[in-house]
Amino acid sequence: MVYIIGILTLVFLVLTVMVVARLRNVVKGVNAGTEETRPENIPSGNRWNANLFILFTILSLIAVVGTHIAAREDLLPVASSVHGRRLDDLFWFSMGVLAIPFVAVNVVLFYFAYKYQYKPGRVATYYPENHKLEIIWTAIPAVVMALLVFTGWRAWSDITSDAPADAEVIEIVGKQFNWIARYGGVEDNRLGNYNFKLIDAQNEVGIDLSDESSLDDFTNNTELHIPAGKPVLLKIRARDVLHSVFIPHMRVKMDAVPGMPTKFWFVADKTTNEIRAELGKPDFDYELACTEICGRGHFAMRMRVIVEDEASYRRWVSEQKTFLQTYPEYLAKVPDNLKSKAMKYLPEPTAPATAPADSATAENAGSAGAGASASVR
């Protein structure tokens, strides 16, 4: 290793000497040139090149504005969440702060290339140092950068703060190649524990039935229902590889990392029906997609999101079957001290079909009675 470092050091020293020697030759050539020795003829194509700078500037501005207008229909609509609109405002504020000086500087740059094109007898003016100018072009960008960093930091701190205590808790589990939503139960809105060692074909998220809070949990592999106007806390994890939870219309984005649970909370304030009316698209649905390439089926890893008023959401929750109702055989995994509590989450036993038998008995009894009457006569 020491020899390698020594060889590299030697190579860099040789390169440095070569560059310095080259620069000395360039400096000598510049110092040797005078107004008398410079050719007075205008280089071929000089005026055309200067005019092309102006043409390029105009065409570039037209292209930028035109592509923005053409792409407006494909842009996301106003965010359907409280924090989403704040992010949008911050994005457009940053774009304005950065785009305005970018356009101004480039327009001036290309205009100067045209205005100060080579002409015989024109001599450039040099400013070896200008402390006032240096202070201005250092202070203004520093203030602008501080403003952008501060506003972004405030938004990030608020968005990633702890969820309110009354937030609806939903777990999102990513696996190749679909999402699984687990809800905190039909009664207590408390997610039970999980253990990856318990994952199998039915228990896809590893629900730990030794935790009392898990007894009324239920899962959904096709739809994510959330209430409108109420904080929703997504607890996010991955079963296999890296995934990423993305609900674009609500500006929800958080990676799902194996072995490292993440979270994101938000308030959705536009129901599915409201956004359909706003967009004029009766078939529109919110969508939860994966934005981290996770394998061959990544493109199809999505889940329909339904936002509804809280009354409708509560009604939907009450209609769901708990995990134990769906798979009653897992009662064997419930500890003995919780079995009595788990029994109420099992499917209700089906009543035996005794009516036909009773009817047949009654009919036979009637026939026997008729025969007895006939004997008496």
User: Which of these, 232, 178, 167, lies nearest to 205 by C-alpha position?
Assistant: 178
Which run of H or of E encompasses 7? helix 2-32
pLDDT for 37: 47
pLDDT for 377: 30
Q: What CA dihedral angle connects 185, 187, 192 and 196, to 10 degrees?
A: -20
User: Which of these, 165, 161, 210, lies nearest to 330 by C-alpha position?
Assistant: 210
In tens, the pLDDT along 111-166 reads 998 888 888 777 877 777 888 888 888 888 888 889 889 989 999 999 989 999 88
Say how far apart CA 121 and CA 292 lie, in whole Å.
60
pLDDT class of 79 with cuts at 50, 70, 90: very high
- Per-residue DSSP letters for 99-132? HHHHHHHHHHHHHHHHHT---TT------S--HH
Mean pLDDT of 279-290: 94
pLDDT for 253: 95
pLDDT for 134: 85
pLDDT class of 49 with cuts at 50, 70, 90: confident
Lowest mean per-residue pLDDT among 43-57, 165-179, 233-247: 43-57
- Per residue, what are the HEC states of 31-44? HHCCCCCCCCCCCC
Say how far apart CA 343 and CA 118 lie, in whole Å.
92
Is CATH 2.60.40.420 what the domain over 168-345 is classified as, yes or no? yes
Strand pairing category for 218-220 and 223-227: unpaired
Lowest mean per-residue pLDDT among 203-217, 330-344, 360-374: 360-374
- Of 15-29, 32-46, 340-354, the range with the highest mean pLDDT is 340-354
pLDDT class of 43 with cuts at 50, 70, 90: low
pLDDT for 343: 87
Say how far apart CA 288 and CA 234 lie, in whole Å.
12
CB 53 within 8 Å of CB 141 = no
pLDDT for 306: 95
Residue predicted with more confidence, 218 or 41:
218
pLDDT class of 362 with cuts at 50, 70, 90: very low
pLDDT for 351: 45
User: Which of these, 225, 229, 212, lies nearest to 183 by C-alpha position?
Assistant: 225
Secondary structure percentages of the chain, helix, strand, coil, to 5? 50, 15, 30
% residues pLDDT > 90 (the chain): 49
Segments making up each domain of the chain, as ranges: 45-82+103-120, 168-345
Mean pLDDT of 31-47: 59
Secondary structure (3-state) at 88:
helix
Residue predicted with more confidence, 369 or 250:
250
Cα-only R_g, the chain: 37
Mean pLDDT of 87-109: 90
- Residues contacting residue 264 through CB under 8 Å, at least 6 positions apart: 160, 233, 234, 236, 245, 252, 253, 254
